[in-house]
Amino acid sequence: MLSFCPHCANMLLVDHCPEGGGLKLYCQTCPYEHAITETIRDPIKIARKQVDDVLGGDDAWKNVDKTSATCPKCDHGQAYFMQIQIRSADEPMSTFYKCCKCANQWREG
């Protein structure tokens, strides 16, 4: 919670109070001080952003080819694959796989 000085409207800072060992709010530009006597909690529920699938979601896997690749999760021998350039042009393409049996996804390169 931000508090502002009632005299000069600058933001108040928190410091240790020499007497009593508590905390106080103080202004850097004028002599205003205010002892903090109670705990103020104002929890805020943060809504998560909707994250886009960088591979294009389920639609990206509609028209892809199959290849023989062993799934690291279920040891199935076939997987869908696609290649995408995710780094700079002088780096090799990354190959993404999706298991035909368990839909596990992994990447090589």
Binding residues for Zn(2+): 5, 8, 27, 30, 71, 74, 99, 102
Radius of gyration (C-alpha) of the chain in whole angstroms: 29
Residues annotated in a binding site: 5, 8, 27, 30, 71, 74, 99, 102
Task: Give the β-pairing of 65-68 and 33-35.
Answer: unpaired
* Distance (Å, whole) CA 25 – CA 6: 12
At 60 the three-state DSSP class reads helix
Beta strand residue intervals within 7-62, DSSP E: 13-16, 23-26, 33-35
